[in-house]
A and B are shown apart, each in its own frame.
Chain A
C-alpha cells in the first residue's frame, strides 16, 4: 500500500502557482502564435505568386501540429514525472476513462493528423465529401471547413475520412476540370459540334492553354448529352469558366442550327 502511494505521488511533480503560470504562458504563447499564423499566412498568400499560394496555405495545419507538439512536450514534464513506469501507470488508470470521454474528438483529431500526411485534402483544394462541395478554407484539429459555391461554410469532422470517399477536384494542383453540359436533339446530325465547342473553349479567357480540351457525347433516351471538358488556369475561376463555356457554347450551337433540347411546355390544354 505504501509502495503504491509512493508511486502515485511520484507520478505528478510538485505544482506551484508559478508552474500553473508557466503552463498558462506556454498555452497562451502557442495559441497566439497559431492565431497570428492563421491571420497572416492567408493574407500574405494572396499576394504571393499564384504557384506559391496553395503551398503557403498548407503551412497552417502543419504549423498547428508543430505548435501542439511543442506545447505538449513543454507542458508534460511540468505536470508529470515522466518515466516509463509512470507513463504505463497513467495510461492504465485514466486512459480508458479518457478514451471513452473524448472518443469522438480523438477519432477526428487522429484523422486530422493522418489527413496532414496522407493529404486527402489541403487548404485551397476543392473537395466533395458527401453532398458538400467547396473550397477547403481551414483545417482544424477536429474538422475541416469548406466554403461552398453558395458561400456557405460547412464544418466536417476529419473522422469522415475513415468511412467515406473524399473526392478532390484538384488534389493540390492549381487547376481542375470544368464541365459544361448541353442536351442536343438526338434526331439531327452531330457534325460540327465537336469543332464548335472546342473553339468555344479555346476562345475563353479563363482557359489553361496547356491542358487538353475534350468534347464527349453520350446518347440518352430523349437527347444526346454533350459534355465540354476543359481546365481554367485558376481554381477560383471555375464557376466563371463553366458559365462562360455554357453561355457561349449554347449560343454557338444555336447559331449553327443545332437544336438544344428543352422540356416541353405543359400549359393548359385548350378545350
Chain B
C-alpha cells in the first residue's frame, strides 16, 4: 500500500535537486570522517546510548515496505511511460530513464516484463510496433576505443529507429555518455525518480513501521514527527535523505544498517531512567564509514569508478576499461570492507555500499554522476 504523499513524478535529470543535510550535521560528519581517516577516532558518540545495545543480525525492514516502495515507483513509471510505450503511431522518440545504482538490479526490466512490453538486452533495435525497452545499457558501454565505436553505431541505430525506445541507464553511465558522446542529441527526454526528502522518508517509515520508536543516537530524540504533525524536528532524516542522495532504497538500507536494539532477555534497561523513554526504542547509530585500504586509495577509487560506469565487470573487462594495473588482492581487500562483491569472478558494487562509494569518490575528486 502506497501513500499519495510520496513524490509521484519523474523529474528531468538536469533538474534533480539533492536533499541537503543541515549545515551542522554536514560539518559534524565531515569532522568525524577526517578523524576516522587519520585513524584517531574509532568509536562514534555513545554518550546517549543505553547499555546493552547491539546491531541486529537480521534486517528490521518489513518486506511490505520494499514491496510498497516498488509498487509506488512502478506507478510513477506507469504515469509517464506506459501510454507512450503502448502507442503504435505518432512520432518515434528515444527516452532515457536514469537510475541511481542503489535502485534494485533489473528494476526497469521487471516493470517492463510485468506490463508485457518488448524487452531487449543488446545493442540492437529489432523492428516492432510498441516501444522497445532496453533495461540497462551500462553493460553495453565500454570505455575503450572499440566500445566507443560500438556506442556510436548504436546511437546511429537508435536515431534511425522506427519505434519508441526507452533506455534504462545508470546515472554514472548516463553522465559519462552525456559528457563524451552525442547521446543527448539522440535521446529526447531523460528522467529519473524525484528525490525523497525527510518528510517522504518519515511518511514511508510511519506507514510501514509505525509501531517502532526510532531514536537518534546523536540527539536521543525520536526521529519521526510526533502525532499527526508533518514537522520533523530531529535532523536525522534530513541527514539520511542527503546521505542517500534522495534515493529511498539507499536511505532505508542505511537506516537498517544503523539499527541498534537492546538484546537483554529480561527487558530491563539499566539506564532507563536517564531519558525515561528508552523502553522498546530502536536506536539509530550510524556505523563507521568504510575506509579504503591505506596506500591503495587512489587505485581503489579508479576501480570503483569504473565499476559504477560499466556495472559488474570480470577481470578481463576491468583491464580493458582501466589501463592501470590492479594490485593483486585489491578486490578482496575492498570486498572485506563491503565496498565490492566478487561473485564468480564478476566484480560489482553492492547496492548497500553505493552511498559510501559515491562519497569516497566525491572526496577524492573523481568526476561524479549528475544525480
Chain A residues in the interface with B (C-beta under 8 A):
44, 47-51, 174, 196, 199-200, 202-205, 207-210, 233-234, 244, 248, 252
Contacts and interface: CB of A to CB of B under 8 A. Distances in A.
B314 interface: no
Contacts of B176: 209
A257 to B, nearest CB: 15
Nearest to B302: A205
A47 B40 CA distance: 13
A205 B143 contact: yes
Contacts of A44: 34, 38
A47 B34 contact: yes
A68 B308 CA distance: 49
21 contacts: A44-B34, A47-B37, A49-B364, A51-B365, A196-B145, A199-B149, A202-B148, A202-B180, A203-B147, A203-B321, A205-B305, A205-B322, A205-B323, A207-B367, A209-B176, A209-B179, A210-B367, A233-B366, A233-B367, A234-B365, A248-B323
Given A49-B365, A50-B365, A51-B365, A205 B306 contact: yes
Contacts of B362: 49
Nearest to A203: B143
Interface in B109-166: 143-145, 147-149
B71 interface: no
A209 B175 contact: yes
A133 B69 CA distance: 56
Contact of A49 (B149, B175, B363): B363
A203 B150 CA distance: 13
Contacts of B363: 48-50
Contacts of B321: 203, 205
A210 B365 contact: no
Classify the secondary structure of B's interface with A: helix
B324 interface: yes
Given A203-B148, A205-B143, A244-B323, A48 B179 contact: no
A252 B365 contact: no
Contacts of B366: 233
Contacts of B302: 205
A109 B302 CA distance: 42
A233 B148 CA distance: 21
Given A44-B38, A233-B367, 15 more contacts: A47-B34, A47-B38, A48-B34, A49-B362, A202-B143, A203-B143, A204-B323, A205-B143, A205-B306, A205-B322, A207-B367, A209-B180, A233-B365, A234-B365, A252-B145
B324 A205 contact: yes
Contact of B367 (A196, A200, A208, A248): A208
Interface string B250-269: 00000000000000000000
Interface string B289-320: 00000000000001001100000000000000
A48 B175 CA distance: 25
A50 B322 CA distance: 22
A174 B366 CA distance: 11
A255 B72 CA distance: 51
A187 to B, nearest CB: 25
Contacts of B38: 44, 47
B301 to A, nearest CB: 10
A176 to B, nearest CB: 14
Nearest to A206: B302
A200 B145 contact: yes
A248 B146 CA distance: 13
A202 B147 CA distance: 11
Contacts of A202: 143, 148, 180-181
Contacts of A47: 34, 37-38
Given A199-B148, A203-B148, A209-B175, A174 B324 contact: no
Given A44-B34, A47-B34, A203 B144 contact: yes
A153 to B, nearest CB: 23
B74 to A, nearest CB: 32
